[in-house]
Amino acid sequence: MWCSSRESMRLFILVALLGLSRAQHNPHTKNGRTAIVHLFEWRWADIAAECERFLGPNGFGGVQISPPNEHIILNNPWRPWWQRYQPISYKLCSRSGTENELKDMITRCNNVGVNIYVDAIINHMCGAGGGEGNHSSCGSWFNAGTKDFPSVPYSGWDFNDNKCKTASGEIENYGDAYQVRDCRLASLLDLALEKDYVRGKLAEYMNVLIDMGVAGFRVDACKHMWPGDMTVVFGCLHNLNTRWFPDGSKPFIYQEVIDMGGESITAKEYFHLGRVTEFKYGAKLGTVFRKWNGEKLCYTRSWGEGWGFMPDGNALVFIDNHDNQRGHGAGGASILTFWDPRLYKMAVGYMLAHPYGVARVMSSFRWNRHFVNGKDENDWLGPPSNADGSTKPVPINPDQTCGDGWVCEHRWRQIKNMAIFRNVVNGQPHSNWWDNQNNQVAFGRGDRGFIVFNNDDWDLNVTLNTGMPGGTYCDVISGQKEGNRCTGKQIQVDNDGRAHFSISNKDEDPFVAIHAESKL
Ligand code: QV4
Ligand code: CA
């Protein structure tokens, strides 16, 4: 069972004194793997297969899965993706599959070296307007109006309404930390995490998943929870399952806090608990690659902390996420997504080549966008589904792309190969920077890898010091090494480490990347 708050407080202080409090910052990826991929709304059966047939063989470190717990099922709008952000209980049946399918996926992914990270919704239950009945993914009865969730069980006592001071009961002003944490986010019934009982239920839910073999959690809506309450819940978490992880490993925690500056709550308040999503990263890199606001790629020489981002050891980075790729959450119009594939591939490539942060790749489904006055009226549309609302499987085409509306950005050659690049250069310093004082830049990672971008409107033709050992390398963007042949451009590195690069601004992908394992 769960630990009492006093025990966990003592444990926390002990852990802090021993200097082990950074344990929850480690993703525990296996065998030198690095990148995480968010398989948004995928079914457990498809993720298990993807681990075995693609993620394991291509060196991906882990998968962020959609919330596995019981959620509301909505008819209006019809089965939106965001119904999964409205918990009904901690039973493990969801739109992605059953508890057995979840267990099978966790086991099979771990067995091929791929970790599972769970999207944990612990700030709230369903919306206040969620009604009464059993329109929920395991069929549990609930009543949102009276705040009754017997399958947990939670009752009215377990929610924050008595503490919230706004007239509407909603968060009205993000300048007031009390409102942000004690009032309702978008009408979602706000849990009282100050209560031992609630803390215990949350820890129990997370511990069931840890015992099954997950490696950690993306924790939803952390801005809306008090760090002190979260400290107690996380202090109660088990160590990872020793069938796959070293003895004494703590779950990896990465917290969703959107801190673009200018609010009362800052990301810093959460650093001791685990990593934090760095939302400035994608917003800024999108602005740079789009060349908006006078930004130039050459200014990214000091990319990372030099741009005012959080400390490297705290950051979880991404180009887009499931919210801001469709106008939810934060980041605005500069966010690059699969809808802008040419710039998107460069931005994801840049992220995966750069040492800052733990990197997460997005894998999306396509939907019918319908803009009215600049707003996408279809931003709610759920994953590819059958007429009864069940999610469609992910079919793999003969050319290895995905069918039925699944985008599978992680399978795009350029992105997959850059995930491998990140593993090959892991631990190497950012080195041998070059730029043309505009939008052509290059940098290396010690003597293990080198990347060159041309985001100008003219050709790049330059000889650069790569820092790499002499030899012929295969560019993993225009092609890749297959056996001992190269399906893309070849790059000749001289014995002094210098190589000539030529990248037309008209190239399909105007960037080139080579690494130690793409040597011919
Ligand atoms: C609406 C109104 C309310 C009204 C209510 C009446 O907004 O004012 O009282 O109807 O019933 C959906 C609807 C939203 C609706 C709400 C409750 O979009 O209109 O309220 O349900 O019925 C996702 C979606 C939300 C969705 C939510 C729950 O993005 O649109 O709300 O799921 O289904 C902030 C936070 C940050 C958050 C981000 C989106 O600081 O934490 O906003 N991001 C995370 C997730 C995100 C998720 C949630 C948090 C909530 O990444 O996907 O929201 O779990 O920046
Ligand atoms: Ca809250």
pLDDT tens column, 211-229 = 999 999 999 999 999 999 9
Spacing, Cα 274 to ligand 2 middle (Å): 19
- What DSSP string runs through 29-88? -STT---EEEETT--HHHHHHHIIIIITTTT--EEEEPP-S-BB--TTTTS-GGGGGSBS
pLDDT at 232: 97
Question: How many angstroms does the Cα of residue 179 sit away from the middle of ligand 2?
Answer: 8
Ligand 1 pocket mutation pick from 119, 265, 323, 376 by most atoms within 8 angstroms of CB: 323
Average pLDDT, the chain: 96
β-pairing verdict for 115-120 and 216-219: parallel
Within a 10 A sphere around the Cβ of 452, how many other Cβ atoms? 26
> 208 C-alpha vs ligand 2 centroid, how far in Å?
23
Bond preceding residue 150 cis, omega within 30 of 0: no
Which atom from ligand 1 is nearest to the alpha carbon of 221? 41
**Nearest CA-CA partner of 174 in 223, 127, 125:** 223
Q: Which residue has a Cα nearest atom 55 of ligand 1?
A: 329
Q: Predicted confidence band at 1 (pLDDT cuts at 50, 70, 90)?
A: very low
Residue partners of 301: CB distance under 8 A and separation at least 6: 433, 435, 441
* Percentage of the chain lying above the pLDDT 70 cut: 96
CATH class, domain 430-518, is mainly beta
Ligand 2 center–CA 193 separation, angstroms? 8
Q: Of the bound ligands, which one is closest to the alpha carbon of residue 255?
A: 1
Coarse DSSP helix, strand, coil percentages of the chain, rounded to the nearest 5 percent? 30, 20, 50
Task: Give the mean model confidence (pLDDT) for residues 71-95.
Answer: 98
Which ligand approaches the C-alpha of residue 164 most closely? 2
Q: What is the CA radius of gyration of the chain?
A: 23
What spacing in Å lies between the alpha carbon of 186 and ligand 1's midpoint?
5
Residue identifier of the C-alpha nearest atom 41 of ligand 1: 221
Mean pLDDT over residues 152-164, rounded?
97
For a mutational test of ligand 1's pocket, the pick from 64, 66, 78, 85, i.e. the residue with the most ligand atoms closer than 8 A to its C-beta, is 85
Which residue lies with its CA nearest to atom 52 of ligand 1?
A: 323
Q: Whose CA is nearest to atom 17 of ligand 1?
A: 127
The matching CATH number, chosen from 3.40.50.300, 3.20.20.80, 3.30.1360.120, 3.40.50.150, for 28-277+365-406 is: 3.20.20.80
Q: Is pLDDT at 5 greater than 80 in this prediction?
A: no
C-beta neighbour count of 108 within 10 angstroms: 20
* pLDDT range class, residue 331, cuts 50, 70, 90: confident
- Spacing, Cα 156 to ligand 2 middle (Å): 15
Closest CA to 346 of 296, 418, 407, 408: 418
Ligand 1 pocket by Cβ (under 6 Å): 82, 85-86, 121, 127, 129, 170, 185-188, 220-221, 223, 256, 258, 323, 328-330
Tokens of residue 119, six digits: 């999207």
| Closest atom, ligand 1, to C-alpha of 256 | 41
Residue 20 confidence (pLDDT) above 50: no
Q: How far is CA 514 from CA 405, 496, 517, 520, in A?
A: 32, 16, 8, 11
Strand partners, 115: 62
Q: Closest residue (by CA) to atom 42 of ligand 1?
A: 329
Q: What local confidence, expressed as pLDDT, does residue 19 receive?
A: 45
Domain boundaries, the chain: 28-277+365-406, 430-518
- 442: region left, alpha or beta (phi > 0 left; psi from -120 to 50 alpha): beta
Atom of ligand 1 nearest to the CA of 124: 54
pTM strictly above 0.75: yes
Q: How far apart are CA 276 and CA 314, in angstroms?
A: 6
Q: Going by CA atoms, what residue is nearest to atom 36 of ligand 1?
A: 221
Place of tokens 């394992």: 517
Ligand nearest to the CA of 192: 2
Helices (H), 255-379: 279-290, 341-353
Residue 9: pLDDT over 70: no
* Ligand 1 site-directed mutation target among 121, 256, 318, 328, most atoms within 8 Å of CB: 328
Q: What is the mean pLDDT of residues 47-61?
A: 98
Ligand located closest to 184 CA: 2
Local structure of residue 281 (DSSP, 8 states): H
Predicted confidence at residue 23, as pLDDT, reads 87
The pLDDT-based confidence of 8 (bands split at 50, 70, 90) is low
Separation of 21 CA from ligand 1 center, angstroms? Answer: 32
Predicted pLDDT at 10: 57
Q: What confidence category does residue 435 fall into, taking pLDDT thresholds of 50, 70 and 90?
A: very high
List active site positions.
220, 256
Q: Where are the alpha helices (DSSP H) in 413-514?
A: 413-424
The pLDDT score that the predictor gives to residue 330 is 84
pLDDT surpassing 60 at residue 265? yes
Pocket test residue of 71, 72, 185, 318 for ligand 1, highest count of atoms within 8 A of CB = 185
> Cα–chain-centroid distance for residue 39?
9
What's the pLDDT score for residue 18? Answer: 47
| For the CA of 123, the nearest atom of ligand 1 | 54
